[in-house]
Amino acid sequence: MKRPAKLGKSERELIAAATAAIKQRYRDDWQEVGAALRTRSGKIFTGVNLDAYLGRMAVCAEAVALGRAVVDLGDAGIETIVAVRHPPPGEKDQTIAVVSPCGACRELIFDYDPQARVIVPNGKAQAVVPIAELLPNKYSRGSEG
């Protein structure tokens, strides 16, 4: 596997946007993850997760960010996306940190931009990897190859 790309200014800016979103909207048990994406046109959209009493109704922060982008711009692609998790109050010595997208979000990100780049944790640092690398053997209906 290729060595993952190091973060540049634009990736750090995206992490900062996701961090700001969850710092502003954190609610224990309800909003704990923030996300930010940059469209192909260079615009940044943020989201926070929507947890729900009925667990399966929960929506990930990445999906909320993507929804905001689609409403504003239509299909603008995803150049880069990142999610960060805000620790609950009881978690001592934890800070807001980059988390990997869940499996469902990997599918979603790929569907909206197969060339998207994703910022993921890499030891104590972060790395930028192509979505295809995070989703080998992506789901497809039999007839679509």
Write out the catalytic residue numbers. Answer: 62
Tell me 59's DSSP state.
B
Distance of closest approach, residue 131 Cβ to Zn ion, in angstroms: 13
- The beta-carbon contacts of 123-128 under 8 Å, at least 24 apart in sequence, are 125/7, 126/7, 126/11, 126/15, 126/98, 127/4, 127/5, 127/6, 127/7, 128/4, 128/5, 128/6, 128/7, 128/11, 128/80
Of residues 60 and 134, the one with the C-beta less far from Zn ion: 60
Instruction: Rule CB under 5 A: say whether 18 interacts with Zn ion.
Output: no
Of residues 5 and 102, the one with the C-beta less far from Zn ion: 102
Distance of closest approach, residue 62 Cβ to Zn ion, in angstroms: 6
Of residues 15 and 105, the one with the C-beta less far from Zn ion: 105
Instruction: Rule CB under 5 A: say whether 15 interacts with Zn ion.
Output: no
Three-state SS for 139? coil
Q: Which amino acid is at 136?
A: P
Distance of closest approach, residue 2 Cβ to Zn ion, in angstroms: 25
Restricted to residues 78-137, the positions that interact with Zn ion (CB under 5 A) are: 102, 105
